[in-house]
Amino acid sequence: MKKIKLGVFGLGRGSTYFDNIINNDGEIVAVCERDEKKLKEALDYLGENTVGYADFDEFINHDMDAVFIANCFHEHTPFVLKCLEKNLNVLCECTSNATMGEGVALVRACEKSKGIYMLAENYPYMVFNREMKRVFDGGTLGKFLYAEGEYNHPFNMDDMESHIALRPYSAHWRNYLPRSYYITHSLAPIMYISGAFPKRVTALPVFAPFTEEKAVGSMVGDRAAVIMTLNDDGSVFKVTGCAAFGAHGNSYRICGQNGQIENIRGDGDKVMLRYNAWQIPEGKQEINAYVPAWSEDEKNFAEKAGHGGSDFFVIREFFSCIREGRKPAFDEYFATAMSSVAILGHRSLLEKGVPYDIPDFRNEEDRKLWENDFSTPFWSGDKEPDIPCCSVPNFKPAEEQFNEYLRATGEL
């Protein structure tokens, strides 16, 4: 099997994929990073056959088949467009686009390019989500009606070292991240399992600022965005973005006419499959609780990979699509649909739940409606955000909290 020559751009998240790339018969021929320390560490790990770059335009002129885009959350699209112009295959970290206009530009570029685009969304490949898809595809749950997806990631604000590592300066994207924007870990698994695409979105905030913590840099006082979508098949999703309420974990629930399947909160990879008492299929019980397992040929790789093994399968799927010349499930249309839910869900939240229609970027008419919309809650260089990042638009942490954060980052 011919090795796929891959370049990695962004060596924070990107470096965590090195072993998964190598274990899937990939060859990392080039890396690109502006942080000299990260660049040196990567080159020391990968060896003399990998070339390092600080300049992206020089980097994509390297001889390679594909590029993994893993720079800052809200800055992927401009670099993806450059790759697609050169007909390179692109694996892009989440999110695909941080503005609606970028989403339009992305799908247009994908349609012109000979390269394959795939979103590097990993949570659908977790073992319990793969099992839920297997059961759903088997048909025993009947017609799909409703699903929930929750990605809950509270953070210990007293862990100052980790806090500053994740938010190293005041204009960092994490300090301005609306709670609906980091949505792919909650939304992608239930879209993938059910096959449903969101068509309309509404959202409400859970506003609960950090008041006891000593150092706070975040301009977002919301702990969660609770988002609901009406889908193309008449079903309904309820999801969070990256939430911070209750206990840490991620959970999913798929409901059909005949029964439901979900992973059990706080109980590892265990799933609960339940049927109505009058609709139990042959060979099943009314209540079935079990732990799904990796196949023997997957187990060793999955147990070594990050995020419950799912990082390995992201690379495997991307490489398979390149080798077979096929589009991935998480293509530009899937990716921009999720980003649209995130972006327009936040606008709904700012308007106390006013619903927004989700565009279908397969259609040029929908694209034209959004092609010039580049509103963003993030800093971009010296350009200030032009929409609020919090449900309370003028929210800021207390002055002493923010000053303590600035002292920790060295900005004060």
Domains of the chain, first to last = 4-119 (3.40.50.720), 124-298+332-370 (3.30.360.10)
Dihedral of alpha carbons 214, 218, 219, 225, sign = negative
Residue with tokens 């000053």: 403
Residue 338 is predicted with a pLDDT of 98
**What is the DSSP secondary structure assignment for residue 171, as one 8-state letter?**
T
Does residue 140 have a cis peptide bond before it, meaning omega lies within 30 degrees of 0? no
Residue 308 is predicted with a pLDDT of 80
* Nearest-angstrom CA–CA distance, 196 and 20: 30
Backbone angles phi, psi at 330, to 5 degrees: -95, 65
Other Cβ atoms closer than 10 A to 179: 30
* Nearest-angstrom CA–CA distance, 403 and 205: 26
Opening angle at CA 376, ends 374 and 381, nearest 5: 100
* Nearest-angstrom CA–CA distance, 371 and 83: 20
Residue 85's contacts (CB-CB under 8 Å, 6 or more residues apart) are 109, 113
Residue 139 is predicted with a pLDDT of 97
* 10-residue mean pLDDT series, the chain (412 residues): 93 96 96 97 97 98 98 97 98 97 98 98 96 98 98 90 94 98 98 98 97 92 98 98 93 98 94 98 95 87 81 96 97 98 98 98 97 97 94 96 96 96
Residue 297 is predicted with a pLDDT of 82
Residue 19 is predicted with a pLDDT of 94
DSSP string of 110-141, one letter each residue: HHH-SS-EEE---GGGSHHHHHHHHHHHHTTT
* Nearest-angstrom CA–CA distance, 373 and 364: 15
As a residue count, the chain comes to 412
CA distances from 294 to 194, 291, 299 (A): 21, 10, 5
Other Cβ atoms closer than 10 A to 287: 11
Opening angle at CA 245, ends 244 and 247, nearest 5: 100
Q: What six digits make up the tokens of 267? A: 């109980």
Q: How many helices (H) and strands (E) does the chain have?
A: 13, 15
* Nearest-angstrom CA–CA distance, 246 and 249: 9
